[in-house]
C-alpha cells in the first residue's frame, strides 16, 4: 500500500499537479498519498543553495578630473546599485568589494576561491580592475555604469572576443538587464547541484564522469529490473486515479484503453518514487529500447508529461544531452522544455517539432494549460502518449547542447499551428523560422529542446560562461 501522510494537499494543488482544470471530489484521497510519496513532480526548489558572487565596484579615487565627474560620490552610487541588484537577484549571495586599481583587483580574486563568479561594475575609468578579474578563470559579468565606466568597458571587448574569455558585458540603463546576466550564476549553481536518474541498462560511466567533471552534475543509473520492482510495488488504485484524472482533463482519449492508462499511472508512480528515493531532479529513460524488448510493459510518456507540467524534468530515450539542455532552460526560465524530432518544410518556411512526450503547461507550472489528447505511441500504436495542442502566435527558443563536445546549436521561431497528421509522433508543433538556413546548417543529432519565449540572448550568454561553441542554425552560414 502507498504511504500515508498527516499533511494534506489542497484541492487546488492537486488540480495543478494534474495539469488540467477539472476533477471530481472522489479523486481527493489520491492527493494525500501522492503528497506523502513526494514524487519528483512536486515543484522543486532551485538552486538548492544560493550562488556566491563577488561584486566588485571599480573606480579611481574621487577628486580626479575624469568620467563621470571630478568629485563623484562613488560610495553612494555603489550602495544604490548593490541594493537594487540584490533585490532583483534573491538567489545570489553577493560579497561587495571595491577595486581602485589592478593590484586591488588581483587581491580580491585571490581572496575569492569559493565564488561562483565575479561581477565588475565599472563606476569610473582606467582602474585596470576589469582586465585582471576577466582572467580569473571564472565566469564574469562586466557592467558599464553608463557615462561613467563606458570607455574601459568598451576597450575590453576585443580582449574578451580574441581570448574567448567567459565574460558577458551589460551596457544598459535597466537593472533588469544586469539581473538577467547575474542570474546565470544561479543556472550554473543549479546544474552543479543537479542529480539525474538515468534508467538505462548500458554502461553510463563515461557520461557520468564527463558530467561530474565538467558541470558538477551527478548521474545515477537505475537498470530495468530495479524499475520493474518499483513498478510492481506501485499501488493500482492510486495509478487508476491518475489514469482517470488524465482522461477527465483530456479533450478525448483515442486509442488507449483504461487498463493501458492505469499501466501509465503505475509507471508514473514508479519513476517518481524512484526519483524521490534517489533525490533526483530529473528522470530520463531508455523507453524505446526497454519497451520494444519487453523489459518494461508501459511507456513513460504520461509520467514525463506530468513531471514536466509540475516543474520537474522527464525526458525520453535516455538522452542526456537533451536532459541537461532542458534542465538548463528550466533553471533559466522556470518553464518546461519540449524535446522533439524536428521536420523541416521549406515550402512553408516552417519547422515542425514532433514527439510523443510533451507538456501542456508551456508557460510553467502556474501558467495556463493548453488542451491535450491522449493517444497511443505513434511508431507502434501501443501504450499511451500525449498529443499536446500548444499555443500558436508565440515566440519560441529551440536549442540543444552536446555536453561532451561543449557545442550549442540554437534557433528562434514563432509558433503557427498544431499539425494533425497520422504520420510520425503525436504532438507536432509548426513554427515559422528560416527553414532553409536551418536545413543547411543542421548538425549534432536529431533532438532539439523548445521553450516558449525569446531566451536567445540569455542562452548565448550562458554559452559564453560555459565556453560552448555556438552555431546559430537560422543564420546564413
Residue 116 near residue 139 (C-beta atoms within 8 A): yes
Q: What is the pLDDT of residue 30?
A: 35
pLDDT digits over 420-468, tens only? 998 988 899 999 999 999 999 999 999 999 999 999 999 999 999 999 9
State the pLDDT confidence band at 268, using cuts at 50, 70 and 90.
very high
Segment 308-332 mean pLDDT: 96
Q: What is the pLDDT of residue 313?
A: 96
Q: Where are the domains of the chain?
A: 51-188, 193-472
Mean pLDDT, the chain, integer:
90
State the pLDDT confidence band at 44, using cuts at 50, 70 and 90.
low
Phi, psi torsion values for 86, nearest 5 degrees: -60, -40
Strands 448-452 and 395-402: antiparallel
- What would be the CATH architecture of the domain defined by 193-472? Alpha-Beta Barrel (3.20)
pLDDT at residue 70 tops 60: yes
441 Cβ contact list (under 8 Å, min separation 6):
409, 471, 473, 474, 475, 477
Count other C-beta atoms under 10 Å from residue 392's C-beta. 14
Closest CA to 78 of 117, 49, 121, 109: 121
Q: Do domains 51-188 and 193-472 have the same CATH topology?
A: no
Count other C-beta atoms under 10 Å from residue 343's C-beta. 17
pLDDT at residue 21 tops 70: no
pLDDT at residue 17 tops 70: no
Beta bridge mates, 140: 118, 167
Residue 474 near residue 350 (C-beta atoms within 8 A): no
Residue 452 near residue 396 (C-beta atoms within 8 A): yes
Closest CA to 245 of 8, 29, 10: 29
State the pLDDT confidence band at 16, using cuts at 50, 70 and 90.
very low
Q: What is the pLDDT of residue 32?
A: 35
Percent of the chain with pLDDT over 90: 85
Segment 53-81 mean pLDDT: 96
Closest CA to 337 of 349, 353, 317, 318: 353
pLDDT at residue 7 tops 80: no
Segment 218-247 mean pLDDT: 96
pLDDT digits over 378-432, tens only? 889 899 999 999 999 999 999 999 999 999 999 999 999 999 998 988 899 999 9
Beta bridge mates, 54: 95, 118
Name the pTM for this structure: 0.90
Quick one: CA dihedral 109, 111, 114, 118, positive or negative? negative
pLDDT at residue 210 tops 60: yes
Cα R_g (the chain), whole angstroms: 24
Beta bridge mates, 55: 96, 119
What dotted CATH number matches 51-188? 3.40.50.10940
Closest CA to 286 of 214, 217, 382, 197: 197
Residue 449's H or E segment, with its range, is strand 448-452
Cα–Cα distance measured from residue 91 to residue 187, given in angstroms and rounded to the nearest whole number: 10
Q: What is the pLDDT of residue 62?
A: 94
Q: What is the pLDDT of residue 378?
A: 86
Segment 80-87 mean pLDDT: 98
Segment 95-119 mean pLDDT: 98
State the pLDDT confidence band at 344, using cuts at 50, 70 and 90.
very high
Amino acid at each position: 500500500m502507498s504511504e500515508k501522510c498527516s499533511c494534506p494537499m489542497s484541492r487546488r494543488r492537486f488540480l495543478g499537479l494534474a495539469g488540467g482544470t477539472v476533477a471530481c471530489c472522489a479523486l481527493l484521497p489520491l492527493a494525500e498519498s501522492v503528497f506523502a510519496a513526494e514524487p519528483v513532480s512536486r515543484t522543486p526548489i532551485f538552486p538548492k543553495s544560493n550562488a556566491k558572487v563577488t561584486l566588485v565596484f571599480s573606480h579611481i579615487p574621487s577628486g580626479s578630473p575624469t568620467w563621470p565627474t571630478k568629485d563623484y560620490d562613488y560610495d553612494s552610487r555603489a550602495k544604490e546599485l548593490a541594493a537594487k541588484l540584490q533585490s532583483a537577484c534573491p538567489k545570489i549571495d553577493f560579497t561587495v568589494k571595491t577595486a581602485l586599481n589592478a593590484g586591488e583587483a588581483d587581491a580580491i580574486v585571490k581572496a575569492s576561491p569559493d565564488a561562483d563568479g565575479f561581477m565588475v561594475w565599472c563606476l569610473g575609468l582606467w582602474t585596470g580592475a576589469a582586465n585582471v578579474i576577466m582572467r580569473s578563470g571564472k565566469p564574469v559579468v562586466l557592467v558599464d555604469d553608463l557615462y561613467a565606466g563606458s570607455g574601459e568597458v568598451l576597450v575590453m571587448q576585443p580582449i574578451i572576443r580574441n581570448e574567448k574569455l567567459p565574460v558577458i558585458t551589460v551596457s544598459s540603463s535597466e537593472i533588469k538587464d544586469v539581473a538577467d546576466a547575474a542570474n546565470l550564476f544561479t543556472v550554473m549553481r543549479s546544474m552543479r547541484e543537479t542529480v539525474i536518474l538515468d534508467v538505462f541498462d548500458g554502461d553510463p560511466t563515461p557520461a557520468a564522469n564527463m558530467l561530474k567533471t565538467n558541470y558538477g552534475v551527478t548521474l545515477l543509473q537505475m537498470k530495468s529490473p530495479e524499475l520493474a520492482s518499483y513498478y510492481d510495488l506501485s499501488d493500482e488504485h492510486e495509478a487508476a486515479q491518475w489514469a482517470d484524472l488524465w482522461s477527465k482533463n483530456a479533450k478525448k482519449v483515442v486509442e488507449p484503453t483504461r487498463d493501458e492508462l492505469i499501466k501509465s499511472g503505475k509507471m508514473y508512480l514508479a519513476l517518481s518514487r524512484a526519483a524521490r528515493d534517489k533525490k533526483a531532479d530529473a528522470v530520463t529513460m531508455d523507453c524505446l529500447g526497454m519497451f520494444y524488448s519487453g523489459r518494461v510493459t508501459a511507456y513513460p510518456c504520461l509520467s514525463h508529461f506530468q513531471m514536466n507540467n509540475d516543474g520537474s524534468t522527464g525526458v525520453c530515450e535516455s538522452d542526456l544531452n537533451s536532459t541537461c539542455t532542458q534542465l538548463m532552460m528550466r533553471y533559466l526560465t522556470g518553464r518546461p522544455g519540449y524535446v522533439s524530432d524536428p521536420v523541416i518544410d521549406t515550402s512553408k518556411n516552417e519547422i515542425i517539432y514532433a514527439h510523443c512526450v510533451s507538456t501542456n503547461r508551456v508557460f510553467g507550472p502556474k501558467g495556463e494549460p493548453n488542451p491535450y489528447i491522449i493517444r497511443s505511441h505513434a511508431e507502434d500504436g501501443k501504450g499511451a502518449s500525449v498529443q499536446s495542442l500548444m499555443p500558436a502566435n508565440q515566440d519560441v527558443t529551440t536549442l540543444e547542447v552536446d555536453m561532451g563536445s561543449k557545442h550549442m546549436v540554437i534557433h528562434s521561431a514563432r509558433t503557427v499551428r498544431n499539425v494533425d497528421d497520422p504520420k510520425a509522433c503525436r504532438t507536432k508543433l509548426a513554427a515559422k523560422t528560416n527553414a532553409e538556413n536551418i536545413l543547411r546548417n543542421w548538425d549534432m543529432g536529431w533532438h532539439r529542446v523548445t521553450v516558449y519565449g525569446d531566451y536567445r540572448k540569455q542562452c548565448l550568454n550562458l554559452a559564453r560562461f560555459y565556453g560552448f561553441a555556438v552555431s546559430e542554425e537560422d543564420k546564413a552560414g
